[in-house]
């Protein structure tokens, strides 16, 4: 697994990854629910959609909008196994993610969400 500082430095050089921003709906959701709740959702999404060795619809399992975590997953390349996690994070495809790898993905999502403009007014409950 690559260090998140190295991953974020590489992501910052990607025009595709840099273009992701939370829309008004996702910003409102993040503000209303608070970061702890949204990160709980992130852990669930990672466990269900990313952790299996052969995720269903790999490469297409993460929507492009509708939840702040989905946007963050695309921005942080934690959206699929066959390309993104392997390429950007050094987590190989083909075997189930262990607890440390899942925590790594959620930490990347959290770091990105905290860097968004909406994070200044987050509920921290």
pTM beyond 0.75, yes or no: yes
| Other beta carbons less than 10 A from residue 12's beta carbon | 9
Q: pLDDT tens-digit profile of 58-73?
A: 767 677 788 999 999 9
CA distances from 114 to 27, 57, 61 (A): 12, 29, 24
Return the higher-pLDDT residue of 91 and 124: 91
For residue range 68-87, list pLDDT tens digits in order: 999 999 999 999 887 899 99
Mean pLDDT across 39-46: 97
Sequence-separated (6 or more) residues with CB below 8 Å from residue 85: 50, 77, 78, 91, 93, 105
* Residue 93 near residue 5 (C-beta atoms within 8 A): no
pLDDT at residue 122 in the model: 58
Q: Say what the pLDDT of residue 125 is.
A: 46
**How high does pLDDT run on average in the chain?**
90
């Amino acid at each position: 697994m690559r260090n998140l500082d190295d991953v974020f430095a590489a992501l910052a050089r990607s025009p595709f990854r840099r273009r992701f921003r939370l829309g008004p709906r996702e910003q409102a959701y993040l503000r209303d629910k608070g970061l702890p709740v949204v990160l709980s959702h992130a852990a669930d999404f990672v466990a269900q959609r990313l952790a299996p060795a052969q995720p269903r619809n790999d490469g297409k399992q993460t929507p492009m909008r509708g939840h702040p975590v989905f946007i963050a997953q695309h921005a942080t390349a934690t959206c699929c196994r066959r390309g993104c996690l392997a390429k950007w994070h050094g987590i190989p495809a083909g075997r189930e993610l262990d607890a440390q790898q899942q925590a790594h993905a959620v930490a990347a999502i959290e770091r990105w969400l905290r860097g968004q403009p909406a994070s200044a007014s987050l509920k921290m409950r």
